[in-house]
Amino acid sequence: MQKAEKMKELRVFAQEIRVEALKTIGSLGFGHVGGSMSVVEALAVLYGSVMKVDPKNPRWEDRDWCVMSKGHAGPAMYATLGLKGFYPLEQAYTLNQPHTNFPSHTDRTKTPGVDLTTGSLGQGMSTATGAALANKVDGRTNHVFVFVGDGECDEGQVWEAAQFAAHYKLDNLVCFVDSNKRQLDGSVDDIMSHGKGIGAKFDAFGWNVIDVADGNDVEQVYDAVEAAYQVTGKPTCIVLNTIKGKGCTFAEPSGAHSSQPSKEQWDEAIAFAEAELAKVKAQ
Ligand SMILES: Cc1ncc(C[n+]2csc(CCOP(=O)(O)OP(=O)(O)O)c2C)c(N)n1
């Protein structure tokens, strides 16, 4: 397939994920829209092109792993995995309701395709690093991808894992930092600045670092993953400069962490995202 054709396919997939994630959160009426919307393009690249997974055998031993350490972006994962065929999409419309298999934060014991349980910020970075080491020890050639938030990077645990991954030369580990510049109750710079930048920190910890100017552009994300695959002897950090709430009519302007809009606002947001999907398909 030509690259242009593949990129179009990924743009369509990304927008399908956006629509589905909105419907999933909309089924409950409130939730983490902001941080789900910002990672949509990276998830589309991973599950649409890069990762080896088998929806019929979610625990296939040679699969690539994806850990949503910023576990509150669960709905974006559920939309992605549903579209990939791990389960019927409508199942996720039970988001966070009693006895659901789709809790607001990702849980490996409940949802097919979720590789590790997350929600307590920082922990997913550690467990993903452990998974990368274990896969290497077992002689596998697969990759482990992990998403951390730029606010999440305030957790000391992220940096213990970063130091560990560099020491053990985990070149099968790729960490996406979702640098949407906002965390729960304000901007990252106001709450806990990353000084010279998050990439400079990972560099200081011995990682290969790739900065993606627009982390909501599938082609830029795809090129970054391709470049990461060429690097041996160290893990790669891909800093995605993204927009919190990207593509959601009520969440992008506010940059809100969680949202509880009115029924009318939900309808407008989903209709807008669906219209965007139609446009991308027609391009
Ligand atoms: C250990 C821990 N402390 C606090 C929280 C509460 N919390 C949930 S999301 C969040 C902000 C995270 O910001 P960021 O990582 O930037 O997420 P994003 O903007 O990408 O959604 C906080 C403080 C948590 N889940 N875990």
Average pLDDT over residues 109-113: 98
Q: Is 151 in the pocket of ligand 1 (CB under 6 A)?
A: yes
Among protein residues, the one whose CA lies closest to atom 9 of ligand 1: 184
Ligand 1 atom at minimum distance from 122 CA: 1
Does the pLDDT value for residue 108 go beyond 90?
A: yes
Among protein residues, the one whose CA lies closest to atom 21 of ligand 1: 35
pLDDT of residue 1: 82
Average pLDDT over residues 149-161: 98
Please report, for the domain that includes residue 219, its CATH number: 3.40.50.970
Does the pLDDT value for residue 275 go beyond 90?
A: yes
pLDDT of residue 199: 98
Q: What share of the chain is helix, strand, coil (3-state, %, to 5)?
A: 50, 10, 40
Does the pLDDT value for residue 17 go beyond 90?
A: yes
237-254 pLDDT, tens digit per residue, is 999 999 999 999 999 999
Q: Is 180 in the pocket of ligand 1 (CB under 6 A)?
A: yes
115 half-sphere exposure, CB direction, 13 A CA radius: 26
| Domain housing 186 | 3-282
Query: What is the DSSP annotation of 57-82?
Result: -TT-TTS-EEEESSGGGHHHHHHHHH
Does the pLDDT value for residue 207 go beyond 90?
A: yes
Average pLDDT over residues 89-104: 97
φ/ψ region of 168 (left if φ > 0, alpha if ψ in -120 to 50, else beta) reads alpha
Does the pLDDT value for residue 156 go beyond 90?
A: yes
Does the pLDDT value for residue 84 go beyond 90?
A: yes
Task: For residue 232, name the pLDDT band (cuts at 50, 70, 90).
Answer: very high
pLDDT of residue 113: 98
Residue of 39, 104, 105, 121 with the most ligand 1 atoms within 8 Å of its CB, for mutation: 121
Ligand 1 midpoint to CA 182 (Å): 10
Among protein residues, the one whose CA lies closest to atom 22 of ligand 1: 184
Total domains in the fold of the chain:
1
Average pLDDT over residues 147-152: 98
Please answer whether residues 51 and 64 qualify as being in contact, where contact means their C-beta atoms are separated by less than 8 angstroms: yes
pLDDT of residue 183: 97
